[in-house]
Amino acid sequence: MNPNGELQSQLAPSGVRTITFGHPAHNSFPTHQLRALVAALDSASQDDATRSVLLRSAGDRTFCAGANLDELLAITDNKSGQEFFMGFANLILAMRRCKKPVVVAVQGKAIGGGVGIAAAADYCLATDAASIKLSELAIAIGPFVILPALVRKMGIAAASELSIDTEWHNAGWAKEKGLYQRVFATNEELYDAATALASKLATYSLQATAELKATLWHGTNHWPSLLEERAGVSGRLVLTDEAKEALSAFKRK
């Protein structure tokens, strides 16, 4: 795999566009790759030939480990901190504004921003191996950017539990709380089901699916300003001594 990460976007004759991201560091996201994924989603939204989107990651273990740790440690001021955390904010906003339904397939563990991707999906499928964790509070930051997506999808109680205890929660828990809609035993079953769903969605009226999506996301028009504000909070916190020390210790593990 490319050490800088990879992103592939492939359109099937059925109208399903499969977007696959990958990075050697457990499919974590450097800033440039987040921007590339946002651009790919925006392109899919405007492409008449694309009728549904299937978003997945490469490999068979970790779905997404969240933000790039080296970039986090390199932040030196509030402005660059906010810009960094806007990476996942912009991705969530791109998933929200995409006119096509976005199906996400989670084949392995999801951490931090990876959980945010699952929460921003219009429909999310996973495997039994797809445990989730929010460790942000433990590193003195807090999951502020992705919390609106989590609360919308799982409710405040589940989002609070996940944010506060910073422990692993298995795929069964995530399904029970509404983050995952369906859970499968194997990757093969997951991808078969995700492809079948995306293919079925591709046969539906584009206008009807776009209207349904807009209705399901009702009440989120303020998210662009909200997520920018939340990115500013995380950007300030990552500059504290507690965060720097926690991140450095985490990297040494």
Tokens 């987040």, located at residue? 34
| pLDDT beneath 70: ranges in the chain | 253
The domains of the chain, with CATH numbers, are: 6-189 (3.90.226.10)
Spell out the residues 6+ positions from residue 250 whose beta carbon is closer than 8 angstroms to its own.
69, 139
* pLDDT the model gives residue 69: 86
In the chain, what's the furthest Cα-to-Cα distance? 53
Spell out the residues 6+ positions from residue 13 whose beta carbon is closer than 8 angstroms to its own.
none
* pLDDT the model gives residue 252: 73
* pLDDT the model gives residue 250: 77
* pLDDT tens per residue, range 135-152: 999 999 999 999 999 999
Token pair, residue 117, equals 């991707």
